[in-house]
Amino acid sequence: MKRRPIIIDTDPGIDDALAIAIALFSEELDVKLITTVAGNVSLDKVTYNALRLLKFFKKDVPVAKGCSQPLITPFIDASDIHGVSGMEGYDFEEPDDRLLLKGHAVNEMNRVIQSSDEKITLVAIAPMTNIALLLKLYPEVKEKIQEIVFMGGSASRGNKGVMSEFNMATDPEAAKIVLSSGIPLVMAGLDVGWKALVYPDDSEKMKNMNKTGEMAYALFKKYRGGSMKTGLKMYDSCAMAYLLCPEMYQVVETYLDIELNGSMTAGCTIVDLKGYLKQPANAKVCMDLNENMFREWFLNAINKCI
C-alpha cells in the first residue's frame, strides 16, 4: 500500500503522544519528520518528550526543534493539563539525541518538503508558529504541501478562553497566516475533540493490550484533559483519525478565519457556516464525530503499536 508522506508538528503533550504513536504504527502513513514547538510545555521539554517517545517506540524518525515563543502573543503553557514535564506519569528511558537534527524545524520542514517526490501533508497538533514561519520564509513551499490537517479551533466554545481553543489561542497570529495561506485545510477542532473520548473500560483494555497501552494508562492517570471516569479527550488523535478513518466525521466545507483583536475573543476561530462574511470556503471543518466509531478505531490503532 502507498503510504501518505506526512510531517507532524507537535508539542508533546499526553494526547500528542498517542497521536504520534498511531501515526508511527499505521500502515497508511509515512512520518518523514517530527517538528516541535512550544505549546503544552516549553520547547526544550516538548523536544525532549518527542525524543523519549521515539526511543520508547523504537522508531528512527528525525526530529527538528522549532520555535520557543509564539509570534506575538505572550507564551502560556498547558502544564496544568499535561504536568510539569508535559508527559507526567510514565518513567521513560533517556533518549539518545542522534535523531535530533541541527537545523531549525522551519528549515528542516522546507528541506523535507522540497526534496520530496510527492506532496507532503502537514499534521499540525500544536500552536502553528513553525508552520506560519515556514510559509513566510519559504512561500514557494505551498506548491508542495498536499494539505494541512490540524487539531485546533472550535465552531463553538473554547478550552483556553471562553471561545478559543488552546492551539489557536496560544499563537493566533500564526494561525491567521496559515488559515489565509490558500493551502487546503482540514480542521479537527473541539467540536470533535470533546467527543473523542477514552472511557474507563477503554483505558483498562489499553492497560493490558501492549507496552504502548500500558504507557498510555500511566500517562492518563496524570492527564487533566477530561478524567479517567468521565472520559479522556484524545484531541490530537482527531487529526490522525481524519487521515486514517475520515468516515467517522461529518465534515462541512466553509469559510474559516480567526479573531485577533477581540479583547475577550482573541484566538477564537470563526467557522462561517451561514456565509455571513461572504467569503469563499477555504477549509473542511469536522463538525461531528461518531463516538463509537472513534473508540473502536482508536483502540484498534493502539493495538497496532508495540
Q: Where do contacts with ligand RIB occur on this chain (CB under 6 A)? A: 11, 13, 15-16, 39-40, 78, 125-126, 151, 159, 165-167, 235-236
Give min distance, CB of 206 to Ca ion, in A. 19
Q: Which three cell numbers stand for residue 261?
A: 483583536
Give min distance, CB of 22 to Ca ion, in A. 13
Per-residue exposure over 135-144, b if at least 16 CB sit within 10 Å of its own CB, e if not? beebeebeeb
Give min distance, CB of 4 to Ca ion, in A. 20
Q: How does strand 256-258 pair with strand 269-271?
A: antiparallel
Q: Would you say 25 or 166 has its CB closer to ligand RIB?
A: 166
**Residue carrying C-alpha cell 462541512:** 252
Per-residue mark of binding to Ca ion, 86-125 (x: CB under 5 A): ---------------------------------------x
| Site for Ca ion contains 153 (CB under 5 A) | no
Which of ligand RIB, Ca ion, none binds 245 (CB below 5-8 Å, type-dependent)? Answer: none
| Site for Ca ion contains 126 (CB under 5 A) | yes
Per-residue mark of binding to Ca ion, 6-45 (x: CB under 5 A): -----x-x--x-----------------------------
- On whether the CB atoms of residues 223 and 80 are closer than 8 A, the answer is no
Per-residue mark of binding to Ca ion, 48-87 (x: CB under 5 A): ----------------------------------------
Q: Would you say 11 or 77 has its CB closer to Ca ion?
A: 11
Q: Would you say 18 or 245 has its CB closer to ligand RIB?
A: 18
Task: State the DSSP string of 84-112.
Answer: TTSSTT--PPPPPGGGB-SS-HHHHHHHH
Q: Would you say 36 or 167 has its CB closer to ligand RIB?
A: 167
- On whether the CB atoms of residues 156 and 148 are closer than 8 A, the answer is no
- On whether the CB atoms of residues 237 and 194 are closer than 8 A, the answer is no
Maximum CA extent, the chain: 53
Q: How does strand 145-151 pair with strand 185-188?
A: parallel
Give min distance, CB of 290 to ligand RIB, in A. 20
Q: Would you say 95 or 161 has its CB closer to ligand RIB?
A: 161
Per-residue mark of binding to Ca ion, 227-266 (x: CB under 5 A): ---------x------------------------------
Torsion of CA 35, 271, 235, 177, to 10 degrees: 10
Give strand pairing partners of 9: 35, 124
Per-residue exposure over 176-200, b if at least 16 CB sit within 10 Å of its own CB, e if not? bbbbebebebbbbbbbbbbbbbbbe
Which of ligand RIB, Ca ion, none binds 78 (CB below 5-8 Å, type-dependent)? Answer: ligand RIB
Q: Would you say 16 or 108 has its CB closer to ligand RIB?
A: 16
